[in-house]
Amino acid sequence: MPRTRAKKRGKSIRYKSLTIKLTTRQKRSLERFAKSRRTTTNKLIKKAIRPLFENYADLEVNMNNEKVNQLQLFESEEH
């Protein structure tokens, strides 16, 4: 029988943990919903927020500290 080659392992994925706070009612609701879908709460949450991971990973954030005068109260209108 020919010998099979072992697959090369790619770069290992590093995971980061995230903590959120839920009320008792929210947690119970999440657990029951996950159970009804026959999945885990972690997989359910990841599936719900996956579009954010994929669409905004390379987004450049422009942090501008200038205050914007949205009402423009101090601008005089000249007719």
CA atoms within 13 A on the CB side of 37: 14
Give 20-43 as a DSSP string: ----HHHHHHHHHHHHHTTS-HHH
Model confidence over 23-66: pLDDT tens digits?
Answer: 999 999 999 999 999 999 999 999 999 988 888 777 787 777 66
Name the pLDDT band for 7 (thresholds 50, 70, 90): confident
- How many angstroms separate the CA atoms of 36 and 47, rounded? 15
Where exactly are the structural domains of the chain? 24-55
